Amino acid sequence: MCGIAGIYHLETPKPVDPDRVARMCDAIAHRGPDGAGVWTAPGVALGHRRLSIIDLAGSPQPMPAPDGRAMLVFNGEIYNYRELRHELRQHGAQFRTDGDSEVILAAWQRWGPDCVSRLHGMFAFAIYDCDARTLFLARDRLGVKPLFMAPLSDGSLAFGSELKALLAHPLLRREVDPLAVEDYLAWGYVPDTRSMLKGVTKLPAGHTLLLRHGAPMPVPVQYWDVSFSERRKGKPADLEAELLHLMRQAVSSRMVADVPLGAFLSGGVDSSSVVALMAEASAQPVRTCSIGFDDAALDETNYASRIADRYRTDHVSRTVSSDDYEAVDALAAMFDEPFADASALPTWRVCQLARESVTVALSGDGADEALAGYRRQVFLHGEDRMRALMPQALRGPLFGALGAVYPKADWAPRPLRAKTTLLSLAGDSAQGYARALSFAPPELRESLYSPDYLRLRGDYRAEDQMLALMRTAPARSGLDRAQYADLKFWLPGDILTKVDRTSMAVALEAREPLLDHRLIEFAASLPENLRVRGGQGKWLMKHTMRRFLDDDILFRPKQGFVTPIARWFRGPLAGAAGAIADSAALAGTGWFDTRRLATIAEAHRTGRADHSRLLWQLLMLDRSFTVLGIA
């Protein structure tokens, strides 16, 4: 696990200053405190910061191929590298190291761009082919590892693991993309289809990019997608056995490391499943860690302790203050782009705890997206049944009118938020799901914007890309399309961004076994009634794990990391909320109705409404503008 950066001249192979790339790498030194290196050739420079995980002394980067004809910088882990090494040796490849980096180089020299289809793992890497003078960029299938890119005024392309690597380049323009603000307010993050800064892009998950000197900037090529269009047949017992085999395979393959390894343990279904399978595969006690809160309503450590006791793990738990609001500025600096998922804060804290004893930690991320574990997916499944009973021509006007007049109840559990449900039912499945997924729905965003911003935004709406993704998905049903959107849009933009930045901020490698692409492909082929049944999501997984976990672990309501931001904005952060309207960063854009922002802050402070999620969004946007040097 590491950080990478580089510069490639698209037009003519001009010399590249190695100090410039070194500064880009220094900006992401937290990702790799164990080593650093820069390599240059005419028209190209590659930089690397290393966090040693496998072959601790033998795999420094940038890494040349044995014949010197290719050079690699790589962030991530290849879990099938030993099998690939054996196969490549049969084709004449020679290896000087025991790590996975050299296997990528050999795979490139054997299979070219198709090498990525052979790699099982999480990765973002760059390979410079010295003979062809091409630069090959690749990102893993699900987008676990990030890769930012930006064309610069000198004709070069700069790239790096985080935006802060590009910010270290003096030619990077720091101009906000106004459409990214619309995206951010809709989703709570800037999706991979855009960046907060104009001209900066992200290589999409499951894509590669092959650059040549003297050729125009190409379009990324997709090498992997997930399809929900087929339905696997078989008895539930047989499918349970297949799922368990895939989960065991995914967990065991991610337990290979030459450094201390452990797991996050929240006591929920997913992390508990991972820990149970780790314990089954390990001859030594698994190291686990949990974060608890001093607020009993937020604390889950008793469930984590039960799993730790059952599997005799080497468990450590720490209670943190639920009023951990002082870390706001640290979070903004960590993410660069605004990021409004408040669970990033406790995620960072559990990463800090894990790093005290391990360098690698397995997490339970991915099962909700793949196996329909989110409540919003279960609700959509039920709403689609209702949609099928009433034509759109009747349903749209009826439920739309009812939803417009029904009072808003953000404080209530989702099933009791009739306004949200009515407005969802007024549209088709994709429209309903986009509304369920959004942080700030369209009508709320409209009320925040100034006339100048509305003219600037024009006809663009953040939901457009989500609707297009769902409506063109390789899928059969609304549930299929929702899960497809979660895997392709929500997962890389929110969940994986959160885990990557918070773990790498403390030089911890987080691995996600439940995002093994073979498991994802299997899950996508399951009949709907094996994903959602009786109001329960992840049905097949929960029944598969009954031999490992008790029912009150498997079937209790989903909780997740909860941060009490509503209380903060009525207490210690009330002043920060009130100051948002006068923020130099936000007011300076001229894009917001500052009187409206002040009214929202006051309504929340006095308890007349719960605007905590919106206030947190705006606060993180304000702090991000400062980090990006825009204020």
Per-residue model confidence as pLDDT tens digits over 181-229: 999 999 999 999 999 999 999 999 999 999 999 999 999 999 999 999 9
Indicate the DSSP class of residue 26.
Answer: H
The answer to whether the beta carbons of residues 59 and 77 sit under 8 Å apart is no
The pair of structure tokens assigned to 514 is 């439940």
Cite the active site residues: 2
Q: What is the pLDDT of residue 416?
A: 46
Distance separating alpha carbons of residues 146 and 335, to the nearest angstrom: 12
In the chain, the amino acid numbered 41 is A
Task: Please write the tens of the pLDDT for every residue from 560-598.
Answer: 667 788 888 998 888 988 899 888 889 889 999 999 999
Within a 13 Å sphere around the CA of 384, how many CA atoms are in the beta-carbon half? 19
Helices (DSSP H) in 472-583: which residue ranges?
478-485, 496-504, 517-524, 539-544, 551-554, 565-568, 574-579
Q: What is the pLDDT of residue 388?
A: 59
The pair of structure tokens assigned to 168 is 């270290």
Cβ-in-10-Å burial (0-12, 13-18, 19+) of 132 comes to middle
Helix (H, G, I), strand (E, B) or coil at 413: coil
Q: Kindly give the parts of the chain with pLDDT less than 70.
A: 1, 385-427, 559-561, 631
Task: Please write the tens of the pLDDT for every residue from 435-481.
Answer: 989 999 999 999 999 999 999 999 999 999 999 999 999 999 999 99
Model confidence, pTM: 0.93
Tell me the CA end-to-end span of the chain in Å, nearest whole number. 33
Distance separating alpha carbons of residues 445 and 596, to the nearest angstrom: 11
Distance separating alpha carbons of residues 70 and 108, to the nearest angstrom: 9
Task: Please write the tens of the pLDDT for every residue from 228-257.
Answer: 999 999 999 999 999 999 999 999 999 999
Q: Residue 629, by phi and psi: left (phi above 0), alpha (psi -120 to 50) or beta?
A: left
Q: What is the pLDDT of residue 53?
A: 84
